[in-house]
């Protein structure tokens, strides 16, 4: 006998959805969203005529034939097709936004480097013109490697939009909120959150606080993905539901504006007489998203010997060689340290990967002095580094009760490629000339007699 379900008696979830208003949860989901009722075709992608007189257009983030689990594309239903958002291009200069390879003869990238925060400026800089490249790695023309930037922004992008054909952009605000108006919807971002802007996605950045500073990882290679969790299982670290993709939003507005395009390391502009943010509905899995770093659920040592820092990987951009990332994005969040008879800070090491760190907020446990919010450090390929003398002595001698590390959020852009300093990083950014001295006080304790010193 069939059981009949009376739909009228069910309490339907729609009116009580727990999702954040304006966003859809999930990482890499196949989303669908419409800003006007009926704008999104059902059951097909390309009807003979679209509702509202919209144009159907596909944005492909992977080659058509990429394996199903990696294949990414989004169908957009827009007021004008993208060919109407670009005209003839003119080359423009963005002298501080560099692309790999950018290896300058007189700049030495081998060394332990650390920088104080680049000071804010009164100059009228947008998110794009205020981009300052610190390091580059790999080659933008072969779509491998990355660049690490800081941005200083004091001006909204008014009637100005940008996309990078070169790269996916991971935006890590450190100071000031960002309102990112993208083709696929609105992302409102604040420090301790990150946003991912896919390659080719048009957007403009507005500054609700009037100024902003932060970090950007420009990924020339395959897209960021969630790392495999292995024996950790199905939960913890970054959880997919905490990634938020915006719902569709559009504007139908005339203006005298321009679109800026980064393509093979060069910048171009093209005039536009209307807003290109004209997608009324879309569906697909190639979309921007944001993520709150405070929702990362760390897993770590509960008896002795902490794991490698890869345990803190939020997202990883693969290189094609298994386990060898083009970029890992790693964070060092608040967490408990309960392990016993063990050295709790990061141990001394040399690494084939190149580690660029930034401090978003608070104090980093391996470097209690000198690595301040807004600051950065670089430990390049096969360059030794580790705790400074103060951190070493404290960690070696303190009574090991469980301790909660609070007031801390640093991150690392780690790449398989060596990172080369730009002229800006070497000569204009506030480099700490004495950084290497943080290890100067480490003493030889060995004298040949047994026993723990």
> Site residues (CB under 5 A) for Fe ion?
355
Q: Which two tokens stand for residue 329?
A: 């994005």
Give whichever of 94 and 405 is closer to Fe ion, judged by the CB atom.
405
Give the nearest distance from C-beta 366 to Fe ion in angstroms. 9
Q: In this structure, what are the phi and psi dihedrals at residue 272, rounded to the nearest 5 degrees?
A: -145, 140
**What is the per-residue burial (b if ≥16 Cβ within 10 Å, else e) of 387-415?**
bbeebbeebeeeeeeeeebeebbbbbbbb
Give the number of other CB atoms < 10 A from CB of residue 285. 17
Contact 65, 73 (CB under 8 A): no
Give whichever of 131 and 217 is closer to Fe ion, judged by the CB atom.
217
Q: Which residue is nearest to Fe ion (CB)?
A: 355
Give the nearest distance from C-beta 351 to Fe ion in angstroms. 6
Give whichever of 34 and 355 is closer to Fe ion, judged by the CB atom.
355
**Distance (Å, rounded) from C-alpha 157 to C-alpha 125?**
9
Going by C-beta distance under 8 Å and a sequence separation of 6 or more, which residues neighbour residue 154? 120, 121, 122, 123, 124, 125, 130, 207, 210, 211
Give the nearest distance from C-beta 243 to Fe ion in angstroms. 27
Using DSSP, how many helices (H) and how many strands (E) does the chain show? 2, 28
Burial class (CB in 10 A: 0-12, 13-18, 19+), 229: middle
Active site residue 306: yes
Residue tagged active-site, from 283, 306, 349, 427:
306
Give the nearest distance from C-beta 194 to Fe ion in angstroms. 21
Give whichever of 127 and 312 is closer to Fe ion, judged by the CB atom.
312
Give whichever of 113 and 424 is closer to Fe ion, judged by the CB atom.
113
Give the nearest distance from C-beta 206 to Fe ion in angstroms. 36
Catalytic residues: 306
């Amino acid at each position: 006998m069939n059981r009949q379900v009376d739909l009228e008696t069910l309490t339907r979830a729609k009116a009580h959805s727990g999702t954040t208003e304006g966003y859809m949860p999930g990482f890499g989901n196949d989303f669908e969203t419409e800003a006007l009722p009926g704008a999104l075709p059902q059951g097909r992608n390309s009807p003979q005529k679209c509702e509202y007189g919209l144009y159907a257009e596909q944005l492909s983030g992977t080659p058509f034939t990429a394996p199903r689990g990696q294949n990414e594309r989004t169908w957009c239903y827009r007021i004008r097709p993208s060919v109407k958002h670009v005209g003839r291009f003119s080359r423009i200069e963005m002298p501080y936004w560099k692309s790999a390879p950018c290896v300058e003869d007189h700049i030495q990238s081998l060394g332990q480097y650390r920088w104080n925060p680049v000071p804010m400026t009164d100059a009228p800089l947008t998110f794009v013109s205020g981009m300052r490249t610190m390091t580059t790695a790999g080659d933008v023309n072969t779509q491998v490697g990355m660049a690490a930037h800081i941005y200083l922004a004091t001006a909204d992008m008014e009637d100005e939009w940008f996309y990078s054909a070169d790269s996916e952009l991971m935006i890590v605000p450190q100071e000031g909120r960002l309102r990112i108006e993208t083709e696929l919807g609105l992302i409102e971002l604040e420090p301790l959150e990150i946003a991912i802007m896919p390659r080719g996605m048009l957007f403009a950045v507005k500054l609700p606080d009037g100024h902003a500073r932060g970090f950007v990882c420009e990924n020339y290679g395959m897209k960021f993905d969630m790392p495999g969790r292995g024996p950790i299982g199905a939960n913890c670290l970054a959880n997919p539901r905490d990634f938020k993709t915006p719902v569709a939003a559009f504007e139908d507005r005339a203006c005298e504006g321009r679109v800026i395009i980064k393509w093979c390391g060069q910048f171009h502009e093209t005039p536009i007489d209307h807003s290109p943010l004209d997608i009324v509905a879309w569906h697909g899995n190639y979309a921007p998203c944001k993520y709150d770093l405070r929702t990362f659920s760390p897993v770590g040592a509960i008896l002795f010997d902490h794991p490698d820092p890869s345990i803190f990987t939020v997202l990883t951009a693969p290189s094609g060689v298994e386990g060898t990332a083009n970029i890992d994005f790693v964070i060092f969040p608040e967490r408990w340290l309960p392990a016993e008879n063990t050295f709790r800070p990061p141990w001394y090491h040399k690494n084939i990967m190149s580690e660029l760190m930034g401090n978003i907020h608070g104090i980093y446990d391996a470097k209690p002095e000198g690595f301040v919010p807004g600051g950065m450090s670089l430990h390049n390929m096969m360059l030794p580094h580790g705790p400074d003398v103060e951190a070493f002595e404290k960690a070696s001698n303190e009574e090991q009760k469980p301790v909660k590390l609070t007031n801390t959020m640093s991150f690392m852009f780690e790449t398989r490629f060596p990172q080369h300093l730009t002229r800006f990083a070497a000569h204009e950014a506030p480099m700490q000339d004495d950084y290497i001295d943080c290890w100067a006080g480490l003493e030889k304790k060995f004298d040949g007699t047994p026993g723990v010193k």
